[in-house]
Structure 1
């Protein structure tokens, strides 16, 4: 399967989606892995998580246009980074899709989620009452997913643990469309950062992406 969707954000920032239709062995053969990564993949073998891990790494290779080994590590906060290449990266996955965002000029965050009704049951866990107040009944589920993806994208972009979606990430009111942006702010300790998060509905998936 080739890249399913690709979008250039600015001169050195883009994201792409990969629809995972391959078997795990086919994806594995497209990668170069060190011993630690090989051992890690054995722990994931035969799970959906394994396909997701492989899918994001194959997509990363395609976007960086390299056949060389990519040293992709994860820091103590769980944020992935490239050891030897000058890119900020963010990885996400949901069901049949992997998503990767890269940039040379600043931290990025991306989240992809399959749109399901169940998000309504947990909305009060990640939205405050003032945020719930601007959710419209017309596109309620889609708008809730925009909110979730926006907060998740900011969380990944910031790259620090112990950030509460409800208590530290604040969204301004917006009207849902098939694509658009949401103004947001991260407030935690001395951090006070404004973000403009973009979102896109792609078939039955919602994508939120941001660059600091």
Structure 2
């Protein structure tokens, strides 16, 4: 499957989304991996995780990079050798990356009813404005936003429930704001999202 979607943003950021139709072997025929990446793929028990990992390497190629340009710091955050920022996500049938000159985060989630069961684990302030209408869609946006911000925020220990607030939004507008407050850091974020095939992709930029 070719690239599913590319989104170019005003601040020199680009989002790339891949629909994962290929097999593990199909992916491997089309790329070169670092030895550490090959070992990581071989060590994955889930074929779904293998395909997600490899599809991200296809997205890197679309963005003009390869597996050899990507590395991870001690906290597990991905970086590109040329100094650009990158964030990575994959969920079942889709994967995505965002590449930018600035700090960015991305998350793709399948819209599933079971998110209602765990809402109390990541909502606090947001309970004030969430309603039964489009509840799963709204919760998926909030979860995706907090996940994307978590990938951007420097200190470990950030709590989705206590430290990140997603400001009230209209789910069909696909645009929102959020705040993160933790220890000495307070940061505002722009949120963007899109919905497709029962999935929600949220990406966050520092405001």
Q: Give the TM bin, normalised by the shorter chain.
A: over 0.9
Gap runs ≥5 in structure 2? none
Cα shift at 1:159: 4.6
* 1:132 equivalent in alignment to 2:127: yes
1:210 corresponds in structure 2 to 204
CA distance 1:107–1:11, shift in 2 (3 Å): closer
Please point out which of 75, 92, 95 is paired with 2:92.
95
Correspondence list, 1:61-76, <5 A = 61-64=61-64, 66=65, 70-76=68-74
Cα shift at 1:32: 1.8
> How many residues align structurally?
206
CA distance 1:78–1:170, shift in 2 (3 Å): same
Cα shift at 1:180: 1.7
* TM-score, normalisation: structure 1: 0.91
1:122 corresponds in structure 2 to 118
- How many Å separate the matches in 1 of 2:20 and 2:154? 26
State the Cα deviation string for residues 109-158 of structure 1 (Å, max 9, x = none).
00000101000000010010x31121121111100001001111111122
2:102 corresponds in structure 1 to 106
Contact 1:20 1:55 in 2 (8 A): yes
Cα shift at 1:207: 1.0
* TM-score, normalisation: structure 2: 0.93
1:180 corresponds in structure 2 to 174
Cα shift at 1:70: 2.8
- How many Å separate the matches in 2 of 1:11 and 1:134? 30
Contact 2:129 2:168 in 1 (8 A): yes
- How many Å separate the matches in 2 of 1:209 and 1:40? 26
State the Cα deviation string for residues 31-74 of structure 1 (Å, max 9, x = none).
2222222211110165211111101111111122x5x6633111
- How many Å separate the matches in 1 of 2:197 and 2:67? 33
Correspondence list, 1:1-212, <5 A = 1-10=1-10, 12-44=12-44, 47-64=47-64, 66=65, 70-82=68-80, 84-103=81-100, 105-128=101-124, 130-177=125-172, 179-212=173-206
- How many Å separate the matches in 2 of 1:111 and 1:159? 17
Cα shift at 1:165: 0.2
**What CA RMSD, in Å, does the superposition of the two structures yield over aligned residues?**
1.6
